[in-house]
């Protein structure tokens, strides 16, 4: 392992095609904040009414957040591909 | 026993078919040689989007989840629904984290999270702490998979009394151990297909058929509300109350942060072929959360159907519900889904724990320069030892103890977050600061859990993860997730420790990685390949 470390620190390692640096930075990433924050705001969903198909708000809205999560991560994936 | 005969036959047939697939998996996507950790432990690092989806899904949404989450709703109501926000927020959180871990692991041929810490911080001690944390957190998790199978066997009346009580459980685990030994990560990857198809089938039928028999969803929620209103316990109900909202939110967030620190999650991620597979999966995996939300509500259906758990084991409510509601043959299919659902994560967890031992203990302290075949050999044997340990756990120690330990597991695995997750973004922390933070967070976490009592299970200590803020002298009845508070302690100590060690000019470890290693992708050169070019 040490042998490998020295190898790396010598800088002989090159990544990707020359002249094309890869980066994970993108303004689209901010969209990921939405599905992280929404499910943590209990005041949004901690109620019985309005009901949907017999489900209290607490249950159907949190299930709806799953769809928000899928939506946001899918958009970020597509846009940063 | 005879009344369950159809169920037992269906269960056994499906179980045997799946076991056959486990052995066959060694030939699936056959490598030239299985005798390396890349092949045995990570399936050749070659899984595409679909296999990864099934593998990680099968890995994270375990049989225990399927019996325990509804059992939580059955017992306490809304507080148990935390599993849903937890699995919503985890994917956007790790979306940008896991691709970095994949890249650096690809470049450096890393197999475990502790491998990464070793290279990043140049500290064998810190890596050892991360490895031990991973192993200790994973062991009771494997044992809990057995609790899932046991709940099913109990309902079928198979594990009755006498000397042979646990024989079916032992047979199931011997089969599992044998094909994991032979096929490595390919076995759970192949079995995960069957497991998920069965689970999806059972749940789709359950959420349409059972509510229809019980008089609709309004009726089910009404029955649950009535049940909780009638109990003397103040914390239950179909909605949260003023005192458990903070607990609900911190438990969801803390669990979400912990999920991908577990070694078995990392194993699933590192087995994928490239960064695109991981990103695509982070947006597709929440489909399982939808399933989980519906499964959770089985707990309320059980209340509405007036299900009584077997003895004091609330984990039997879901199997009991299936037994009572479904025709025998379909109940057999449902039980097989739970049983097989236990095999996939148990296999991946034992592989992950074995890899930690091999890479971060055996390789670091016993044999510094092992061949690939030696590494794979050690991991295979360790995976057996880990499984035997899990069986002994269940046979000789109260299953409640595994549940307590798993609770502790979530809190302690969270203490590797500063080294592993934050370490992927910054090398700012000093290795000494991280070690001090780990010690402080671990101590604080265990101390807090020790002081949580649970009157329902008559536990004075380790009764849950909801720590009363009143114990810190605050004038409130609110509770908070102990792991969350422990992580805060960890981060503060790591920060102060880093400043202190810098001021004292204590030597830090070397960083073996470069910034571009964190964005490398499939096809980019690996250090190992460059280094060994000509010799292989």
The full DSSP string for B61-118 is S-HHHHHHHHHHHHHHBGGGGGHHHHHHHHHHHHHHHHHHHHHHHHHHT--SHHHHHH
Distance of CA B479 to the CA centre of its chain: 24
Nearest to B282 among A33, A68, A73 (CB): A73
Given a contact cutoff of 8 angstroms between Cβ atoms, the answer to whether B252 and B82 are in contact is yes
First to last CA, chain B: 59
Q: Cβ contacts (< 8 Å) between A77 and chain B: which residues?
A: 279-280, 282-283
Residue B372 has what pLDDT? 86
Fill in the DSSP letter of residue B508: P
Structure confidence at residue B467 (pLDDT):
85
Q: How far is CA B37 from CA B110, B116, B370, B387, in A?
A: 10, 16, 12, 18
- B372 to chain A, any CB pair closer than 8 A? The answer is no
Contact B126, B117 (CB under 8 A): yes
Distance CA B142, CA B290 (A): 24
Instruction: Return the bridge partners of B468, or none.
Output: B479
Contact A70 B286 (CB under 8 A): yes
pLDDT at residue B189, rounded to an integer: 84
Supply B24's token pair.
Answer: 């066959």
Angle subtended at Cα B223 by Cα B217 and Cα B227, rounded to the nearest 5 degrees: 145
Write the DSSP assignment of B301-355 as a string of letters: HHHHTT---BTTBGGGHHHHHHHHHS-HHHHHHHHHHHHHHHHHHHHHHHHHHHH
- Classify strands B479-481 and B466-468 as parallel, antiparallel or unpaired: antiparallel
In angstroms, the Cα distances linking B348 to B190, B213, B262, B345, B420 are 12, 38, 11, 5, 20
Is the distance from CB of B105 to CB of B38 less than 8 angstroms?
no
Q: Flag whether residue A70 sits within 8 Å of chain B, measured between CB atoms.
A: yes
Calpha distance B325→A77 (Å, rounded): 42
- What ipTM does this complex have? 0.85
Chain A to chain B Cβ contacts (< 8 Å): 161
Question: Residue B516 and residue A21: Cβ atoms within 8 Å?
Answer: yes
Closest CA to B51 of B262, B344, B346, B293: B344
CA–CA separation, B463 vs B479, rounded Å?
Answer: 13
Question: For chain B, which residues score pLDDT lower than 50?
Answer: 1, 532-536
Sorted by sequence, the CB contacts under 8 Å of residue B226 that are 6+ apart come out as none
Distance to chain A for B438, nearest Cα, Å: 25
Determine the residue among A28, A49, A59 to mutate to test chain B binding: the one whose Cβ has the most chain B Cβ atoms within 10 Å: A59
Q: What is the DSSP letter of B428?
A: -
Of A24, A39, A54, which is closest to B85 when you measure between CB atoms? A39
Nearest CB to A5 within list B95, B240, B512: B512
The answer to whether residue A10 scores a pLDDT higher than 50 is no
Q: Which residues pair with B481 in a beta bridge?
A: B466
CA distance B423 to B430: 11
Give A18→chain B minimum CA distance, Å.
11
Closest chain B C-alpha to A11 CA, distance in angstroms: 8
What's the pLDDT at B457?
Answer: 67
Looking at residue B284, its pLDDT comes to: 86
Does A45 touch chain B if contact means CB atoms closer than 8 Å? no
Using the structure block, give the residue that is written with the tokens 């994270």: B60
Question: Measured between CA atoms, how close is A51 to chain B, in angstroms?
Answer: 9
Answer yes or no: do B245 and A7 touch at CB < 8 A.
Answer: no
The stretch A32-47 carries a mean pLDDT of 90
Confidence of residue A18 (pLDDT cuts 50, 70, 90): very low
Q: B450: distance to nearest CA of chain A, Å? A: 27
What tokens does A38 get?
């929404």
List of domains in chain B: 2-398 (1.20.1730.10)
The residues near B115 (Cβ < 8 Å, ≥ 6 apart) are: B105, B108, B127, B359, B360
In the prediction, which pLDDT does B536 show?
Answer: 36
Q: Is pLDDT above 60 for A14?
A: no
Residue of B nearest to A18 (CA): B524
Compare CB distances from B524 to A15, A47, A54 and report the shortest one's residue. Answer: A15
């Amino acid at each position: 392992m040490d042998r490998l470390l020295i190898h790396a620190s010598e800088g002989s390692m090159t990544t990707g095609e020359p002249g094309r640096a890869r980066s994970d930075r993108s303004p689209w990433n901010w969209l990921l904040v939405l599905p992280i924050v929404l499910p943590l705001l209990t005041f949004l969903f901690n109620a019985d009414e309005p009901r949907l198909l017999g489900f209290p708000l607490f249950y159907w809205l949190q299930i709806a957040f799953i769809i928000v999560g899928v939506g946001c991560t899918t958009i970020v994936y597509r846009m940063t591909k | 026993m005879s009344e369950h005969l159809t169920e037992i036959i269906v269960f056994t047939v499906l179980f045997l078919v799946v076991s056959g697939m486990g052995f066959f998996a060694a030939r699936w996507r056959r490598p030239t040689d299985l005798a390396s950790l890349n092949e045995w432990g990570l399936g050749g690092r070659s899984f595409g989007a679909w296999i990864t989806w099934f593998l990680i899904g099968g890995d994270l949404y375990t049989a225990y989840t399927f019996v325990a989450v509804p059992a939580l709703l059955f017992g306490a109501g809304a507080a148990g629904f935390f599993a849903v926000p937890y699995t919503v927020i985890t994917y956007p959180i790790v979306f940008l984290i896991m691709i970095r871990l994949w890249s650096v692991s690809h470049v450096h041929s890393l197999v475990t999270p502790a491998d990464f810490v070793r290279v990043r911080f140049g500290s064998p001690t810190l890596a050892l702490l991360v490895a031990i944390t991973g192993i200790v957190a994973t062991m009771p998790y494997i044992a809990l998979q057995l609790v899932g199978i046991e709940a099913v066997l109990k309902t079928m009346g198979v594990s009755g009394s006498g000397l042979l009580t646990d024989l079916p459980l032992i047979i199931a685990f011997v089969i599992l151990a044998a094909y994991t030994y032979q096929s490595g990560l390919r076995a759970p990857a192949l079995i995960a297909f069957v497991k998920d198809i069965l689970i999806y089938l059972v749940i789709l039928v359950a959420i349409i058929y059972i509510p229809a028999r019980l008089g609709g969803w309004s009726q089910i929620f009404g029955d649950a509300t009535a049940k909780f209103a009638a109990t003397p316990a103040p914390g239950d109900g179909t909605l949260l109350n003023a005192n458990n909202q903070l607990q609900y939110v911190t438990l969801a967030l803390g669990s979400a942060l912990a999920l991908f620190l577990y070694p078995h999650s990392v194993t699933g991620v590192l087995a994928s072929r490239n960064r695109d597979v991981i990103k695509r999966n982070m947006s597709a995996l929440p489909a399982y959360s939808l399933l989980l939300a519906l499964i959770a509500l089985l707990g309320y259906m059980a209340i509405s159907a007036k299900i009584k758990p077997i003895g004091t084991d609330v984990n039997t409510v879901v199997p009991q519900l299936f037994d009572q509601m479904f025709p025998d043959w379909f109940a057999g299919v449902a039980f097989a889904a739970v049983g097989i659902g236990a095999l996939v994560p148990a296999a991946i967890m034992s592989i992950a724990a074995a890899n930690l031992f091999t890479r971060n203990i055996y390789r670091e302290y016993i044999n510094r320069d092992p061949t690939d075949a030696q590494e794979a050999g050690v991991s295979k044997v360790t995976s057996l030892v880990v499984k035997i340990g899990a069986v002994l756990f269940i046979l000789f120690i109260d299953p409640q103890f595994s549940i307590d330990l798993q609770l502790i597991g979530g809190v302690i695995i969270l203490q590797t977050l500063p080294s592993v997750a934050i370490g992927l973004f910054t090398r700012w922390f000093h290795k000494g600061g991280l070690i001090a933070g780990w010690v402080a967070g671990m101590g604080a976490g265990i101390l807090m859990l020790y002081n949580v009592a649970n009157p329902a299970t008559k536990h004075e200590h380790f009764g849950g993860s909801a720590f009363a803020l009143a114990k810190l002298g605050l004038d409130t009845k609110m509770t908070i997730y102990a792991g969350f508070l422990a992580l805060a302690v960890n981060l503060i100590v790591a920060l102060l420790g880093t400043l202190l060690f810098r001021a004292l000019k204590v030597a830090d470890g070397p960083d073996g990685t470069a910034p571009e290693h964190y964005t490398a992708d499939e096809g980019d050169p690996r250090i190992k390949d460059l280094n060994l070019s000509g010799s292989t």
